[in-house]
Structure 1
Amino acid sequence: MADSPAFQAPLDPNERPILDHLLAIRDKLCLLKQDKSTYVKSHDVISLHDQVIEQVHKLNTIRNDKRLEQNRVDRVLDDCFQLISLFFMTIGRIHDVPAVYATSSTIKRLLDHLAEAAPMFSEKDLESISRTIGQMSDIIQRGKDNYSPQLVILLEVRLEVCRAQLSRLHDHLSNLSPELAPVHEQLISILRSIAAANTRTKFPTAEVKGFQSQLKDIEDSKVDGNFVTADGAIPAGQQILDELLSRCQKWADTVLDRHGKFDDGFKPTYEKLCDIRNQLEKLSLTQAWSLRETDLYSFQRQLDRIDEARVDGKFVDEQGNAANLFCQRLSSIDNMQVDGKFMVGPDVPEGQGSVKSLLAECFDLCHDLQVEAEERGSDL
C-alpha cells in the first residue's frame, strides 16, 4: 500500500521500530479485510486493536516534547485506526469507541470541502453532519471507560475540530432569513447539477441550458432588484442569494464554454475519480446490503491520497503545474477575475472544477455508505 508522498520517514531512530510494528499490523489488517471466505472474528479485531494501542503508548512517550510532529508513522497509524474502526462496524460493534474513527475522518474531509466551497452549501448539508457528530460524541462518552485514554482523547480532539469547523460554516449562513431558504436550496441544487452534468461522458448541452433558464427565472422573480416574500417584504440575506446566483450564472457559462473538456495533464486523476465515483454508486444502488464496511477502506484511502496530493488546495500535474480554473469552485472564479476575465498571472486559465467536484462527490458517497451500513447494523 502506497503512502502519501507528503509523509516522510521518521527522523527519530526510536520511532523506526514503531513504524515497523505498525506496518506489520496494517498488513495483517489488510489480509483480514481481503479474506471474505470467513466471518471476521471479534477476537482477531480486538487483538490487533490492542497491538496498535500499545504502539501509540510508545509513540506518545517518545514524542512527549514534540506532539505536533507528523511523518510516515502517523500515516500508517491512521491506516490502522481506519481499518480497525471499519472492522468494529463489520463485527456489529458500531457503538464502540473505535468505530467512531473512520466516520470522524470522513466528516472532517466533508467539512473541509464545504469550507472550500463557502458559501455554496445549504443548511441541510450541515444538519446531517451535525447529527453524525452528536452521535459520535454520545458513543465516546458512553464507552470512554472501556478503551485507552489515548484513543478517547484522540477522538475527542477530532470531534472538537469538526465542531469548530461546523460552527464556522453555520456562520456563513447566519444572515440568511428562513423565507429565502427555499431559493437558496434551489440555487445550490442547480449549481451541483451543473457540476454533475460537467462530468458526464457525453456533455449534456441542453440540460445545462435548462439550468440557465431556471437561473433566469430566479433572476426575473426579483422585484426592484430584491428577492421578496409573498407579502412583498424584503427579508435578510439578499447579498448571499445575489452572490450565489451570480456564481451559478458564471459557472453555467464557463461549463458551456468548456464543454466538459480540460487539460490532458489532469485526465488521469479525473478518470480515477470517475471510476471511484461509479463504483461507489454501484455499491450504493445494488450491493448495499451485502456490503462489508471494510470494503469502503480502499475507496477512502484512494480519495485521501488524491486529496492530500493537492498543493494549496489545487490539483497539480506531474510537472507541478496547478490545474486550470475550470476545475475550481465559483468562489475561485470570482477571485481570479481581472477586468472581467479569469486570470492566473498573465494567462487566461480554463480550470479544475470537474476534478474537485468529483472528489467531493466521492467523499459524500463514502459517507452515505458508512451511515447506511451503521443504520443497517443498528436494525440487526
Structure 2
Amino acid sequence: MKKDVFIVILFILVSIIIKTDLIMGKICYPDLTGQKLVVYITFHEEEGRRLLDLFKEKTNCQYIYLRMPAGETAERVIDEATSPAADIVLGGPADVHQLLANKGLLEKYISPISSSIPIKYKDSEGYWTGLYIGPISIGINEVRWEKELAGKGINKPKSFNDLLDPVFKGEIIMPAPLSSGTGYTLLASLIQLWGEDKTILFLKQLDKNVAEYSKSGFTVAQRVAVGEYLIGINFLHDQLLMRKSGFNIVSRVPEGAGWEIGGISIVRNGPNTRAAQAFVDFMLSKEIGQFHTDLTERISTREDVRMPISVGLVSLSEMPINWGYDFSIAAENRVSYQQLWEATINENYDY
C-alpha cells in the first residue's frame, strides 16, 4: 500500500515538474540525427539562419531554407499544394498563415509550449502560432532631416496624413502589397480603419510623394537608414534593427496603425512533420523567444520575454495601434484588397 502511494506521489511530482517546464518554455529536445527540415523564411535571412543553426545545435537536425517575402511564400506553398516541398513557414503576418490555413495547406499543431502564448496571438484551431508582434511605423533618416528640413519649421510626420505634405515628394519609400507582407498589412489595416473610399483617396495622394514601392518591407528600413530616402513606412522592428546597427533613424508609430502577428506554421503533408513540430516547440520557448528579441528587436508574444529597450515602452498596451485590426478579414479579402491597390496605384517596383 505504501509503495502504491509513493508511486502516485512520485507521478504527481514528475507531472508538476514537466508542466512547470512547459509553462516556462523549457524543452527536452529530440535527437533528430539524420533528419532534415525545409523552411520557407519570410524575414531576414541572417536571422533565420541563426535560429536554424541553434536548432541544429540542440537537435542535430540538418536544414535547408529559402528566403522570400511573405506574399511570394504564400504563392509558393499554394503552387506546391499537390507535392509540398517545405515543412515550415517561418515569419510573416498572421493573415498569410490564415490564408494558407483557409486553403487547407497547413497542419494543425498545438504545441504544449503554446500555452504560454496569449490566445489573441495564436489560431484557436492550432494552424499557426504567433512569435512576435510588429506595428507599422514611420521611419525617418535623422541625419538628412537635420541637414535639410530642421530649420524650415516642418514637423516630423507622426500620422499617416502628415505624409501627404508636398515637401516629401520623391522622398518616401514603402513596400508593395502584392509581394510584401508588410505592404499588405499597411493596406489591409488602412481599409479596416478608414474604409475603402477614404483609403483609395489617401493612397492616390500619397502616391505623389512615393518614389518607390519595394518588393520587401526590410528594404524600406535599409534604404532610409543609409539616406537614399528620407522617409519609409514599414514595421517598427526593422527600423529599430537599423538603429541598433548604428544608423540614425527615428521611428513614429501612427495613431491607429496596423500591426502584424509574425507567425509560424507547419505545411500540411510536408517532408518531415516530426522535425517541424520540434522546430515549432523550439521557436515558442522562452529561451528562443528572448534570443530572437535580442537579435532582432522584435516584440515577443511571450509576456515573460523582455521588451526591446529601444521600443521605449513597458507594455504593448501603450502603443497607439489599432487593436481592433482583424487578421481573418485581412486574409479573406487578400485578393480583392490587392486588386484595389493595383487599380489605384501605378506601381514603381524595385524589380
TM > 0.5 between the two?
no
Q: Normalised by the size of structure 2, how large is the TM-score?
A: 0.23
Higher strand share: 2
Larger Rg: 1
Work out which structure has the larger RCO, using CA pairs closer than 8 Å and 6 or more positions apart in sequence.
2
